[in-house]
Chains A and B, each alone.
Chain A
Amino acid sequence: MASLSVCQPQCGGFSFENSKRNALLEAEFTKLGHSLPAARKTGTTICGVVFKDGVVLGADTRATEGMIVADKNCSKIHYISPNIYCCGAGTAADTEMTTQIISSNLELHALSTGRPSRVATANRMLKQMLFRYQGYIGAALVLGGVDSAGPHLYSIYPHGSTDKLPYVTMGSGSLAAMAVFEDRYKQDMEEGEAKQLVRDAIAAGIFNDLGSGSNIDLCVITKNNIDYIRPHDEANKKGVRSGSYKYKRGTTGVLTKNIIPLDLELVEEVVQTMDTS
């Protein structure tokens, strides 16, 4: 193994130097009874379908950290270019960053060529990057868009293989969604039909897969128009509590009361609302 000297520029790719140290730390942690935090994954059901005038992309909105829901309303349909969007499943950070990098490179490419970008170009860039990292970037993507050559839909796997198909699903809920597609997909559907089909496929994922949940986001891409519908459907509405469990004031008797005023100067006030729904 070549040793790294200060003068040598480090080659690209991941550095696995700390893997041994991390393994030792994890072993010690488990001995004390704790576990290391799990990377936030998006569980997920994502899918896409080609219809008469364009493509419809759909996604659920649940992000999980192990068995806990980290984000009830995260956005999994990422912008790549004005006419191309990409749904991402797998490790949340990987899908977010990968799509942002390719979106940036694609914009520079479009300015350089003087033409609107093509979906095939985005596909090439994504697959070549993911192959270079040999699957260590855990991003499974559904890429869709409309360009000068018509509507296109690709599925891209973490190791860098891609498939160009009329309908695709990815993520832990992909089998449930694919079942819906295999039953009801037809060529040259109308926009309304296609939206309903995608909505039903994502709903199948939400209700039958623990890793998917919350709302359904849709993105309808046609030649001259993008409809980013977030949320399209709130499949899981939180119920209204029928009883109030709050205790009335005076339930607990107060014995003594001692008020000490603190002499403080208010420098800055920041209010961040928590989602207590």
Chain B
Amino acid sequence: SFQTTIMAVEFDGGVVMGADSRTTTGAYIANRVTDKLTQIHDQIFCCRSGSAADTQAIADAVTYQLGFHSIELDEAPLVQTAANLFKEMCYKYREELMAGIIVAGWDKRRGGQVYTVPMGGMMVRQPFSIGGSGSSYIYGFVDSSYKSGMSKEECLQFTANALSLAMERDGSSGGVVRLAAISESGVERRVILGNQLPKFASC
């Protein structure tokens, strides 16, 4: 399973998503280069936290449902639709599942959007969202640092900083920082390796 740090931020024209890369079974790191940013559709991604098995199974199911829906519609699906599909599954099976998911992407109708579907199955749109066990350590940082109207590069820097701080303090988060920037033109993925992470005064 993974305790994690995941994050997504809206900007004008798209979204930036980020996650750490650690999957643990107890105290052993089963995978130190996990990709927790899963593609659901061409321009819709999700960040996964909680049980690896549960979130992989949910993401596979939603990918299938959304792909089918998109073919029926004959156009790109809305981010809100993807978020709703996640919410339906996470709420209906809330007792059996352990999954905290952030859905983010770009669509023609509303541009860049971030929806959070935490454990329990609520679904709400937010300008930015953090999740996972490591998020507890960075609520203060993100609340004070976030400004609306940031550019894509500023959002990427904001996300990388927040994730580095969380990974520094949370034992169950670590490895590399995986980033994805989704906009009208497509998806741009980046990896920040351990030694290239932003450094702060205390380290």
Beta-carbon contact of A165 and B33 below 8 Å:
yes
| Interface residue? A91 (CB, 8 A) | no
Docked Cα-Cα span, A175 to B28, in Å, equals 8
Q: Which of B50-58, B105-113, B151-159, B186-194 contacts A (4 or more CB under 8 A)?
A: B50-58
Contact among A124, A159, A165, A174 with B53 in the assembled complex (CB-CB below 8 Å) = A159
Secondary structure class of chain B's binding surface, majority of residues: mixed
| Interface residue? A144 (CB, 8 A) | no
Contact among B28, B30, B56 with A160 in the assembled complex (CB-CB below 8 Å) = B56
Beta-carbon contact of A131 and B52 below 8 Å:
no
Docked Cα-Cα span, A135 to B51, in Å, equals 12
Beta-carbon contact of A163 and B51 below 8 Å:
no
Beta-carbon contact of B33 and A162 below 8 Å:
no
Secondary structure class of chain A's binding surface, majority of residues: mixed
Q: Which residues of A contact B51 (CB under 8 A)?
A: 159, 161
Report the count of interface residues on A (CB-CB < 8 A): 17
Contact among A124, A128, A157 with B52 in the assembled complex (CB-CB below 8 Å) = A157
| Interface residue? A186 (CB, 8 A) | no
| Interface residue? B4 (CB, 8 A) | no
Beta-carbon contact of A165 and B31 below 8 Å:
yes
Q: Which residues of B contact A128 (CB under 8 A)?
A: 57
| Interface residue? A78 (CB, 8 A) | no
Residue of B31, B33, B51 ringed by the most chain A CB atoms within 10 A: B31
Docked Cα-Cα span, A134 to B54, in Å, equals 9
Q: Which residues of A contact B28 (CB under 8 A)?
A: 174-175
Within 8 A of B (CB), among A109-129: 124, 127-128
Q: Which residues of A contact B31 (CB under 8 A)?
A: 155, 163, 165
Residue of B33, B34, B51, B57 ringed by the most chain A CB atoms within 10 A: B57
Q: Which residues of A contact B57 (CB under 8 A)?
A: 127-128, 131, 160
Task: Count how many pairs of residues, one from A and one from B, have CB atoms less than 8 Å apart in the complex.
Answer: 37
Q: Whole-angstrom distance from the CB of B59 to the nearest CB of chain A?
A: 11
Q: Which residues of B contact A130 (CB under 8 A)?
A: 53
Beta-carbon contact of B53 and A160 below 8 Å:
yes
| Interface residue? B23 (CB, 8 A) | yes
Q: Whole-angstrom distance from the CB of B24 to the nearest CB of chain A?
A: 12
Taken residue by residue from 143 to 181, chain A's Cβ proximity to chain B (1 for < 8 Å, 0 otherwise) reads as 000000000000101011111010000000011000000
Q: Which residues of A contact B23 (CB under 8 A)?
A: 161, 163
Q: Whole-angstrom distance from the CB of B191 to the nearest CB of chain A?
A: 15
Residue of A nearest to B30 (CB): A163
Beta-carbon contact of A127 and B33 below 8 Å:
no
Q: Whole-angstrom distance from the CB of A192 to the nearest CB of chain B?
A: 26
Docked Cα-Cα span, A135 to B25, in Å, equals 14
Docked Cα-Cα span, A175 to B30, in Å, equals 10
Q: Which residues of B contact A127 (CB under 8 A)?
A: 53, 56-57
Taken residue by residue from 40 to 68, chain B's Cβ proximity to chain A (1 for < 8 Å, 0 otherwise) reads as 00000000000111001100100000000
Docked Cα-Cα span, A155 to B23, in Å, equals 13
Q: Whole-angstrom distance from the CB of A14 to the nearest CB of chain B?
A: 15
Q: Which residues of B contact A157 (CB under 8 A)?
A: 25, 30, 52-53
Residue of A nearest to B33 (CB): A165
Q: A127-B53, A155-B31, A161-B51 are in contact. List 20 more A-B contacts (CB 8 A).
A: A124-B60, A127-B56, A131-B57, A134-B96, A157-B25, A157-B53, A159-B51, A160-B53, A160-B56, A161-B1, A161-B23, A161-B52, A161-B53, A161-B56, A162-B56, A163-B23, A163-B30, A163-B31, A165-B33, A174-B28
9 A-B pairs with the lowest CB-CB distances in the bound complex, closest first:
A161-B52, A159-B53, A161-B53, A160-B53, A163-B31, A131-B57, A161-B56, A131-B53, A160-B57
Contact sample, A vs B, 15 pairs, CB 8 Å cutoff: A127-B53, A128-B57, A131-B57, A134-B96, A157-B30, A157-B53, A159-B53, A160-B53, A160-B57, A161-B23, A161-B53, A162-B56, A163-B30, A163-B34, A174-B28
Using a CB–CB cutoff of 8 Å, the interface residues on chain A facing chain B are 124, 127-128, 130-131, 134-135, 155, 157, 159-163, 165, 174-175
